Structures are given as structure tokens and as C-alpha cells.
């Protein structure tokens, strides 16, 4: 097939993309394609087998094209698709998630419905029939889990039990009110709630009693994901060395900044004192909105990046059912194919139901220093700007298959870059930026060690508490997530470093002609793809 024209490749690539969306219609909904809003994925054993076979077939089909025969843009799409399907095939074969990960079934059940309610892509009355259809599918999703599951790490079973309880809360708190004026939804809603109870009972009384297994991914598969999924120049050992060096150097920088702020106290004590500088809980949303406007204005006035016309960002309260897992803030991007490119920036209010001392504790995370960095990370020029730019790329492939290393690396890079560019010269903000970088450096070390069997769960929690100074409950929640998402925790700092390295090389190549805005605009124009692919495109010899 070396003589095939690029347009032939684009047609084949689009067919693969549409087939992937057909097989996972919830992804299609999230991305703004609504042809399959009434459907859910097939989580039966046969469904997983078909997914694995389709991934292998796609890998073989992609191998028929020589990258050298494709245009530069198509080569990027070819590599993205190959990484996607090679990783999917390898993980389905090696990990058998249908037999070991109970969260798959809960996440699918909840996200199927939530994806239809999170954005107003159509009037609610037009979306409710699809909501009802997906509600009707929930019992079969949970039944598939009961049929498929064999054994799980004990921590995964605990997480899934809590997620199932959260799913029932979501159905009661968010979906049940919608059924008041649509009585035909009541029966499938009750059946979905009964299925939640049935699945939770199965997890607690049956599945939890089975022999457990390790959550560690293992060195070989971890190296595969670094190399073939993320296209990183690391294996386990070199990544661990990078993380350990980052922990050490960031601690040194923190000590230096702390000396500037208060020579009598260490950085941890300074942070604790500064966390009390926060707005009253009734003013949180207004202050976040002001901060987002200030960050956007700074990006524009300093010419740090081009903000596309038509983008919108709404700062809103976090939906009630998400608040248990979003203690402070989060970002919901527009779908790749949504006509209206409006992001939602969730801010979690402090509950009036809390005791006064607990409300005071919750407000500490909304202090002015953390708030600035969160606005930069989630809004401008972080996730919102980057993902809106990514959605404008002509390649539909890149709109769907993205790289967490670039996405998270860019947002973390922005935290430092905005301070470097003078958004504020107050060294207290730099302490918070470095504190958060230290946390991400610890993630790199923990990610490698957890999944190669060199660190226990409790040792990982202790590292976050003793080194990064996280509160122990938050550290436990972090590590629980790390056990389920190997190579995701390391993506923040490795992505940031790759962007910094690319910027350094471009500045050296261009000299006086280097322009930061032009660099950022070109970087963001490629979509959310591995930085290694962007670096090749930046290379004038390529």
C-alpha cells in the first residue's frame, strides 16, 4: 500500500475513528457527536473480545502504510492511531480489565447518563429520551460486571463500592427530579437503582471474598506504555532517576524561596500560614471569576498566546454529585466536535451543612495563592485555552485521541511560565508553585515504584505526606487513584519538562528571532499529541 495517496489514508483513519466511537458511544457523546446517544458500550465478555480483535485489526491495517509515503500531518495522525490501538490491544490482552477492574462497570453506567446532562448541546426535553435509554441499559451493564469479574486488588474493590454508592446518589439527586415530569422514566430509574444495590452487594459479599491480586502494572508493560503510548525517551529506571532528581531540585528551590519570604520558618510552615488568606465562602465564585478574567487579560496583554475567537469559559458551581470527588475545582472542556466551544470551570462551594471548624478547613484550599495557580492551570492559558485550540485542529483524529503527557504537561508548564513572565513578582506565589511542582515530582517517583513493586501503598501515602506535605486523607485519595492509572501520574512533570526542552532548543535555533507567543501558538496548533511528535514537526530538517 506504499503507493496509496494520503486521501486514502485519511478515509481509512476516519473509518477507524467512527468505528471506535460506535463501539464506545459515550466517548462520542462527550466529543460532541450525537448519533449514538441512546447506546452504551458492550461490556459483555464477547464485547471485550471484539474490542481486542478490532484493535489488532487496526494495528495491522495501519502497518500497511509506510509513514514516509504520507504527508507530515498524516504521519502524525498515523502515529497517534498506531499508539492508540497498539496500547488498547496490549492492555486488553495483558490486563484483562473486564475480569479485574470493577470500576469499568460503574463508570460506564454513570458517565452514560451524565454525558447527556453535563452540557446543553440540545434542549433538555430532546436529551431525555437518550437519558432514559441509557438508564434502561444500566442493569445489563452491572450484570455484565457480575458475570465477568473474577478477582481484583482489594483497594479496587473498595473504590468500586464507594463509586457504586456515588452512582446511586447521582441517580437519586440528579436524575430522579427529571422523572417527576416524565413518569415513563420512573421504571427504568428504579431498575437502575436496584442494579446499583445488586452490584454493591455483589462487590461486598462475593467479590471482596475472592483472592486479591496486585495492582502493580509490572516493569515490562510500564516500559511499553512509556515508549509506545506516550512516545517518551524513558524506561522505568531513567524515569525514576528524573523524578528523584526533580524532587531534590524542587526542594532546594523551595528552601531558597522560603528564605526570601521568612528566614525564620521552613516552606511548609509558610504555606500553612498563607493558606488562611482566602475570601469568605460566599464570595468564592466571584473571586474565581475575577481571577480568570485577570489571567485571560494577562495572556492577551503580554502577548503570550493567541486566544481563539468564539471560545467561552463559564465559572460555575460544581454539580452536587461531583463534589465528593472535586473538593476545590475542575475543568470540563467542550467536545471536539461541539459547535459551541464553551468550557465549564467548576468551583466547589463550601457546604453550609459543615460545622464551622470544617468550613474553615475547607476554605484553606481556596486561598489566594492556590487560586491564582488553579486559574492558570485550568483556564488561561492552561487546559481551557489548550483544549479549545486542539479542537480547532483540522485533524478529527487528534480531536479524539489525545496525550495526557501534553495536556497535563502544558497546564503545569503554564503555572511556572505565568510567574516567570511577571503575572506577579510576589515570592509567596512562587512558593505555592514550587510546592505543587514538588507534589508532581513525587508522583513520578511513586508512579514508577508502585507499579514495579518497589513501593507499597502506605509508603506512597507517607511520601506524599512527609515530602510533598499533603494532608493524609488527600494523600490516600491520590494514591488510590494512582493504583488505577499507571503512567498518568508521571505525565504532568514529564510533559512540562518536554515542553521546556523544546522551547530551549527552539530559542537556541532561532536566537533573536525567537518569539514566545509564536512558539506557544505553534505548539498548541498541533492538538493534544505527544510532545515528541510536535518536536519532530518543529525540526526544520524533518
Pairing assessment for the beta strands 329-332 and 342-347 based on DSSP bridges: antiparallel
Please write the tens of the pLDDT for every residue from 9-44.
Answer: 999 999 999 999 999 999 999 999 999 999 999 999
Contacts of 230 (CB under 8 A, 6+ apart): 403, 404, 405, 487, 491, 494, 530
With contact defined as beta carbons under 8 Å apart, do 51 and 65 qualify? no
Residues 6 or more apart whose CB falls under 8 angstroms from that of 364 comprise 275, 276, 278
**Same-domain check for residues 78 and 15:** yes
Average pLDDT, the chain: 93
Q: Residue holding cell 532561532?
A: 510
Same domain? 204 vs 232: no
Which whole number is the average pLDDT over 256-280?
Answer: 94
Terminal CA-CA length for the chain: 23
Most confident of 140-144, 359-363, 530-534: 140-144
Report pLDDT digits (tens) over 304-320. 999 999 999 999 998 77
Report cis status (omega within 30 of 0) of the bond before 343: no
Q: Report helix, strand or coil for 159.
A: helix
3-state secondary structure of 347: strand
Q: Are residues 144 and 73 in the same domain?
A: yes
Q: Is residue 523 included in any domain, yes or no?
A: no
Contact (CB, 8 A) for 369 and 277: yes
475 with 374, same domain? Answer: yes
CA distances from residue 10 to 5, 7, 57, 71, 192 in whole angstroms, order as listed: 9, 5, 17, 11, 41
Looking at the domain assignment, is residue 540 inside a domain?
A: no
CA–CA separation, 169 vs 176, rounded Å?
10
pLDDT at 354: 77
- Is the pLDDT at 5 greater than 80? The verdict is no
Nearest to 379 by CA among 410, 338, 348, 336: 410
315-318: list long-range contacts, CB under 8 Å, 24+ apart: 315/285, 315/288, 315/289, 315/345, 315/347, 316/285, 316/344, 316/345, 316/346, 316/347, 317/285, 317/346, 317/347, 317/348, 317/349, 318/346, 318/347, 318/348, 318/349
71 and 126 share a domain?
Answer: yes
Given this model, what pLDDT does residue 213 score? 93
Q: Does residue 344 lie within any of the structural domains?
A: no
Q: Which domain range does residue 442 map to?
A: 227-279+296-302+367-493
| Domain count within the chain | 2
- Distance between CA atoms of residues 147 and 98, nearest Å: 10
Beta sheet of 329-332, edge-to-edge order: 312-317, 342-347, 329-332
Give per-residue pLDDT as tens, 62-109.
999 999 999 989 999 999 999 999 999 999 999 999 999 999 999 999
- Does some domain include residue 401? yes
Residues sharing a CB contact under 8 Å with residue 480, sequence separation 6 or more, in sequence order: 155, 159
Residue 111 lies in a domain: yes
Whether 1 shows a pLDDT value over 60: the answer reads no
The verdict on 447 and 489 lying in the same domain is yes
Question: In the prediction, which pLDDT does 104 show?
Answer: 96
Last residue of a domain, one of 152, 182, 209: 209
> Mind listing the pLDDT tens digit for each residue in 280-297?
888 999 999 999 999 999
What is the grid cell recorded at 224?
511499553
Percent above pLDDT 70 for the chain? 98
Of residues 218 and 473, the one with the higher pLDDT is: 218
* DSSP-derived 3-state class of residue 278: coil
Does 385 map to a domain? yes
- Same domain for 86 and 192? yes
Same structural domain, 437 and 480: yes
Q: Are residues 101 and 237 in the same domain?
A: no
CA–CA separation, 356 vs 374, rounded Å?
A: 25
7 pLDDT higher than 70: no
- Mark which of 158, 180, 209 sits at the end of a domain: 209
Mean pLDDT of 42-51: 97
The pLDDT of residue 324 is 63
Percentage above 90 pLDDT, the chain: 83
Tell whether 89 and 238 lie within a shared domain: no
331 within some domain: no
Matching residue, cell 498548541: 524
Residues 75 and 177 both lie in one domain: yes
pLDDT tens digit sequence for 428-465: 999 999 999 999 999 999 999 999 999 999 999 999 99
What integer is the mean pLDDT of 355-375? 90
For residue 425, the 8-state DSSP code is -
Fill in the DSSP letter of residue 389: H
Same domain, 85 and 154: yes
In a domain, 520, yes or no: no
Bridge partners of residue 345, in order along the sequence: 315, 331
Confidence of residue 152 (pLDDT cuts 50, 70, 90): very high
Taking only the tens place, the pLDDT of each residue in 105-134 is: 999 999 999 999 988 899 999 999 999 999
Q: Is the pLDDT of residue 6 over 50?
A: no
Q: What is the DSSP string of 430-494?
A: HHHHHHHHHHHHHHHHHHHHHHTTSS-HHHHHHHHHHTS---HHHHHHHHHHHHHSTTSTTHHHH
Q: pLDDT of 498-514, one tens digit each?
A: 999 999 999 999 999 99
Residue ranges of E strands in 322-393: 329-332, 342-347
pLDDT confidence of residue 9 = 92
Confidence of residue 402 (pLDDT cuts 50, 70, 90): confident
| Domain end position, chosen among 182, 209, 236 | 209
Amino acid at each position: 500500500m506504499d503507493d496509496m495517496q494520503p486521501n486514502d489514508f485519511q478515509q481509512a483513519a476516519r473509518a477507524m475513528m467512527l468505528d471506535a466511537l460506535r463501539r464506545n458511544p459515550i466517548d462520542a457523546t462527550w466529543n460532541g457527536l450525537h448519533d449514538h446517544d441512546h447506546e452504551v458500550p458492550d461490556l459483555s465478555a464477547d464485547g471485550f473480545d471484539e474490542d481486542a480483535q478490532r484493535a489488532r485489526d487496526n494495528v495491522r491495517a495501519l502497518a500497511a502504510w509506510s509513514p514516509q509515503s504520507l504527508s507530515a500531518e498524516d504521519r502524525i495522525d498515523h502515529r497517534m492511531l498506531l499508539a492508540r490501538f497498539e496500547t488498547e490491544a496490549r492492555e486488553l490482552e495483558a490486563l484483562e480489565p473486564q475480569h479485574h477492574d470493577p470500576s469499568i462497570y460503574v463508570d460506564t453506567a454513570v458517565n452514560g447518563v451524565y454525558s447527556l446532562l453535563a452540557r446543553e448541546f440540545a434542549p433538555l426535553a430532546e436529551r431525555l429520551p437518550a437519558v432514559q435509554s441509557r438508564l434502561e441499559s444500566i442493569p445489563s451493564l452491572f450484570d455484565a460486571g457480575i458475570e465477568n469479574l473474577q478477582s481484583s486488588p482489594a483497594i479496587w474493590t473498595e473504590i468500586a463500592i464507594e463509586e457504586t454508592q456515588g452512582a446511586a446518589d447521582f441517580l437519586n439527586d440528579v436524575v430522579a427530579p427529571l422523572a417527576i415530569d416524565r413518569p415513563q422514566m420512573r421504571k427504568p430509574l428504579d431498575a437502575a437503582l436496584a442494579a446499583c444495590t445488586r452490584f454493591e452487594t455483589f462487590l461486598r459479599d462475593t467479590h471482596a471474598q475472592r483472592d486479591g491480586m496486585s495492582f502493580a502494572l509490572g516493569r515490562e508493560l510500564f516500559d511499553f506504555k512509556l515508549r509506545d503510548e506516550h512516545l517518551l525517551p524513558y524506561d522505568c529506571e531513567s524515569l525514576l532517576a528524573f523524578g528523584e532528581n526533580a524532587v531534590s531540585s524542587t526542594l532546594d528551590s523551595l528552601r531558597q524561596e522560603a528564605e526570601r519570604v521568612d528566614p525564620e520558618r521552613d516552606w511548609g510552615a509558610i504555606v500553612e500560614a498563607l493558606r488562611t488568606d482566602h475570601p469568605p465562602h460566599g464570595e468564592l465564585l466571584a473571586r474565581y471569576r475575577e481571577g480568570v478574567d485577570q489571567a485571560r487579560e494577562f495572556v492577551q496583554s503580554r502577548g503570550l498566546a493567541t486566544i481563539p475567537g468564539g471560545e467561552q469559559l463559564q465559572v460555575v458551581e460544581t454539580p452536587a454529585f461531583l463534589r465528593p470527588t472535586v473538593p476545590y475545582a475542575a475543568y470540563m472542556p467542550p467536545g471536539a466536535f461541539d459547535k459551541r466551544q464553551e468550557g465549564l470551570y467548576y468551583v466547589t462551594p463550601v457546604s453550609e451543612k459543615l460545622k464551622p471548624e470544617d468550613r474553615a478547613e475547607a476554605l484553606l484550599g481556596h486561598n489566594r495563592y492556590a487560586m491564582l495557580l488553579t486559574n492558570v492551570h485550568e483556564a488561561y492559558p492552561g487546559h481551557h485555552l489548550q483544549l479549545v485550540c486542539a479542537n480547532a485542529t483540522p485533524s478529527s483524529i487528534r480531536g479524539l485521541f489525545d496525550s495526557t503527557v501534553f495536556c497535563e504537561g502544558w497546564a503545569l508548564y503554564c503555572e511556572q511560565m505565568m510567574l516567570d513572565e511577571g503575572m506577579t513578582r510576589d515570592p509567596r506565589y512562587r512558593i505555592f508553585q514550587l510546592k505543587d511542582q514538588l507534589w508532581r515530582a513525587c508522583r513520578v517517583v511513586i508512579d514508577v515504584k508502585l507499579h514495579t513493586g518497589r513501593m507499597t501503598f502506605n509508603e506512597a501515602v507517607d511520601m506524599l505526606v512527609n515530602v510533598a506535605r499533603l494532608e493524609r486523607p488527600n494523600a490516600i485519595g491520590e494514591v488510590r487513584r494512582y493504583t488505577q492509572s499507571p503512567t498518568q501520574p508521571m505525565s504532568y512533570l514529564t510533559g512540562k519538562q518536554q515542553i521546556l526542552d523544546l522551547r530551549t532548543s527552539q530559542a537556541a535555533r532561532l536566537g533573536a528571532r525567537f518569539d514566545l507567543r509564536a512558539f506557544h501558538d505553534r505548539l498548541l496548533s498541533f492538538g493534544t499529541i505527544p510532545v515528541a511528535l510536535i518536536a519532530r514537526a518543529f525540526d526544520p530538517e524533518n
